């Protein structure tokens, strides 16, 4: 499943699908991994508008809050398992805009080969996330943490793995965020496999080994 994705640094404050995405030759590529802070788009009901809130990718493990586990939630059971159910039903749902994402292919030797998937069309894509607030002993403030929703793979991605991120269609952002008072069943229904797009997929180049 996805354990890394990238975005343009200038996309951190994007809250609308229709909002122009500024991009320049010197714009930095930001890489997001578990335990990093993500710019999560949420719907602020009190303010009546979207906002971007920093959240850690990965719920805290029960025995060690510094360990991110889980980092994913399956769309099929997002409204069933206690770890996720209340957050989903209460509308604690967010979106993170991405440019590319990685999937791991398990090799016969037990190692994992990383592949990069790039939509390559310049269209902003939103990953569906679920978030919660955690009170952690010894910490002065609650931890806001999130997990990525996953779905069965597209025909392309099925060549390397059995899951992929839930990527939202533009018209489904409002439903997922809870802006239009849609019932939870409608929010769950937008978590679906994205097909019919000409994505590029290739093995991630291996980093050269440092000289001895």
Cα–Cα separations (whole angstroms), residue 187 to 33, 61, 128, 192: 25, 27, 10, 11
Q: 5-203 has which fold?
A: hypothetical protein yedk fold (3.90.1680)
Q: Which of 46, 136, 38 is nearest to 94 (CA)?
A: 38
Stated as kind and residue range, the H or E segment containing 127 is strand 125-134
Average confidence (pLDDT) over 99-113: 87
Q: Residue 26 above 60 pLDDT?
A: no
Q: Residue 112 above 60 pLDDT?
A: yes
Q: Spell out the domain ranges in the chain.
A: 5-203
Residue 30: half-sphere exposure toward Cβ, Cα within 13 Å: 15
| Whole-number pLDDT of residue 139 | 80
pLDDT, greater one: 180 or 19 = 180
d(CA 161, CA 103): 7
Q: Which of 146, 191, 185 is nearest to 165 (CA)?
A: 191
């Amino acid at each position: 499943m996805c354990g890394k994705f990238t975005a343009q640094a200038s996309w951190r404050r994007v809250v609308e699908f229709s909002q122009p995405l500024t991009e320049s030759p010197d714009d930095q590529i930001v890489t997001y991994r578990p335990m990093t802070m993500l710019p999560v788009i949420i719907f602020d009901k009190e303010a009546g508008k979207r906002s971007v809130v920093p959240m850690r990718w990965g719920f805290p493990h029960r025995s060690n809050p510094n360990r991110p586990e889980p980092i994913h939630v399956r769309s099929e059971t997002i409204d069933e398992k206690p770890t996720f159910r209340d957050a989903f039903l209460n509308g604690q749902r967010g979106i993170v805009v991405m440019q590319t994402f990685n999937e791991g292919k398990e090799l016969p030797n037990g190692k994992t080969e990383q592949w990069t998937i790039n939509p390559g069309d310049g269209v902003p894509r939103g990953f569906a996330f679920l978030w919660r607030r955690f009170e952690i002993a010894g910490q002065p403030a609650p931890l806001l943490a999130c997990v990525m929703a996953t779905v069965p793979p597209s025909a392309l991605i099925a060549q390397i793995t059995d899951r992929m991120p839930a990527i939202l269609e533009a018209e489904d952002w409002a439903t997922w965020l809870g802006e239009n008072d849609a019932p939870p069943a409608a929010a769950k229904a937008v978590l679906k496999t994205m097909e019919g797009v000409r994505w590029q997929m290739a093995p991630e180049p291996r980093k050269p080994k440092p000289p001895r």
